[in-house]
Amino acid sequence: MADPWVREYNEATKLSDDISSMISAMSSYSSGPEAQRHASATRRKITILGTRLDSLQSLLTKLPARQPLTEKEMNRRKDMLANLRTKVTQMGSALNMSNFANRDSLLGPDTKAADAMSRTTEQDEGLEKLEETVISTKHIALAVNEELDLHTRLIDDLDHHVDVTDSRLKRVQKHLAILNKRTKGGCSCLGLLLSVVGIVMLLVAIWMIIKYL
């Protein structure tokens, strides 16, 4: 009875040869559905071959328990399997290169024009969104600037009112000093009372100014 691993390996090798022939025949197909179907069939066979190689790898690890092999034979089969995997990888790369080479002819000029139109539309949409963001940021900056100008005017008005109040206070103090000199001792209490009243009035005036700012 034939070795099951060898039988499986021979079938995988035959499938590999079929795939190689299919890839070589890719150049004979022009653009169109037929070329696409041939490429899809080739890719399916490559996938099937990869599955068979995984099965061979699993079977190889179980062989020593079922079928004694020399170390030399075990290494030989491992090399055979590795070489076949390398070939599968190369065939997959060759198929991809063939697809890329025929991509323009497979898609046709209409599809390429549609792709270019789609890319242009996406770029225009991106520029519109960027413009909207810039305009929104500009409006925010203008609003902040107006708010700063308003606060600056309020502070200037407050400074002006404080200066006016300070000037009035100095005039009142000057008048009180003159009044105090005139009245001397006898009317000192009256002068003091007037001073207190004047200061209170000034404080009330300052409070009213601050309140209505």
Name the pTM for this structure: 0.45
**Which residues, including other chains, have CB under 8 Å from residue 191's CB and lie 6 or more apart?**
176, 179, 180, 183
In a domain, 20, yes or no: yes
Residue 86 is part of which domain span? 1-107
In a domain, 167, yes or no: no
Spans of the chain, pLDDT less than 70: 1-2, 30-31, 64, 101-124, 126-128, 130-131, 134-139, 141-152, 154-155, 158, 161-162, 172, 176, 179-180, 182-192, 212-213
CA 68 to chain centre: 58
CA 172 to chain centre: 69
In a domain, 147, yes or no: no
- Contact by Cβ (8 Å): 95, 23: yes
Neighbour-count burial for 128-150, b at 16+ CB within 10 Å, e otherwise: eeeeeeeeeeeeeeeeeeeeeee
Domain count, the chain: 1
In a domain, 193, yes or no: no
In a domain, 188, yes or no: no
pLDDT tens-digit profile of 129-160?
766 775 666 557 556 666 666 666 766 776 77
